[in-house]
Structures are given as structure tokens and as C-alpha cells.
Amino acid sequence: MPAISTNDLKNGITLQLDNGLFTVVDFQHVKPGKGGAFVRTKLRKLDDGSVQDKTFRAGEKFRPVRTEARRMQYLYDSGEAVVFMDSSDYSQLEIPPQLAGDAMRWMIPNSEVEVLFVDERPAGVQVPSAVEMAVTDTQPGVKGDTASGGGTKPATLESGVRVDVPLFVNQGDRVRVDTRSGEYVSRA
């Protein structure tokens, strides 16, 4: 398998380093005024779900790992494991919560997700870049606040996650939220 360099890095790509398998969570190419360029990365270790910061020289090469994403349905969280069902053969798969990671805060039961497999082992969960959810709790907007167009208020969504929404959003409204930043995008 051909090696990939730091120039080919993308979020979600899986790499093999000396101390295990890692998925790129975030990366940034840096070109300082003096010295050579480098790449600052945030990597999630597939074994235990821990996130580590690593810096690499520009052009450094890595061995990529063959990964596969399977579409599955999120069933429930038992506390000890997150349970998914393969829609094609109805088999169930249990993943430790730390492996599922931060993605599960955006999921409600029966929603579709991509489960990432590395060497036929579940390695993580990928959610869509934006999700639509109902607002279950927020303060009502005060008359006159909506006309000003500015300002936000906290709201709790049906998965339990809290986000800031504009003042005109009320309890029961459906909103679209960016899962990468946790920011309100629009009404659904």
C-alpha cells in the first residue's frame, strides 16, 4: 500500500504510527517565518479513544490503514456499551462508549450513523455534519426580542445536548445544528 504524506491528511483518515492506530480528528498546516513547515494534528487513538496532540514535519510519510464505514442504526446506550444494528442482516453490535466518543451526543435512538471498521474491528462512529433535532427545553422569547435579530439563548435538544439558539426559537421547534462546531445553523 503506498504511503501517504502530511500533505494528504484529511479529517477521519486512519494512520498507523509507532504506538498504534490513530484517526485524524483535526489538523493544521503551519508555515512559520523561519524554519521548515510542519503539521499540527489532533489524533484519536483507536484502542482507547484518547485524543493526543502530535506535530509532524511537512512531507513526513505514514502507512495508511484500510478502513470501511458501514451504515448502521443506533438502538440504545446500555451504559456499558452503545448498541447498533446492521440494517442489512439485523445483527447487533456493541461498542464501548469511549470508542463511540463525542459523536453519540448528537444521536437519538433509531438514527442512522456510519460505524468505522479497521481490520474488521469497530473503531469509531461518524455522524452527519449537521443533524435536525427538536428543542425540548428553552426559555420563551420575550415579545420584541425577535425583531432585534440579535442575541441567543441556551436550548436543550432531544438528545440532551445544549446549544445556543436565536431568541425566536421556541420549545418544540426543530433546528439544524452543525455537529462539528455545535452551533445552530437554521430552523428545520
Q: Which domains does the chain have, with CATH numbers?
A: 4-64 (2.30.30.30), 67-126 (2.40.50.140), 130-187 (2.40.50.140)
Q: What is the pLDDT of residues 130-153, one digit of tens each?
A: 888 888 888 876 655 555 556 788
What nine digits make up the cell of 158?
432531544
Q: Phi and psi for 15 in degrees, rounded to 5? A: -125, 155
Mean pLDDT of 69-77: 87
Quick one: CA dihedral 158, 95, 22, 126, positive or negative? negative
Angle 43-44-48 (CA atoms, 0-180°, nearest 5)? 145
Least Cα distance to 23 among 81, 80, 65 occurs for: 65
Q: What is the pLDDT of residues 88-99, one digit of tens each?
A: 888 888 888 877
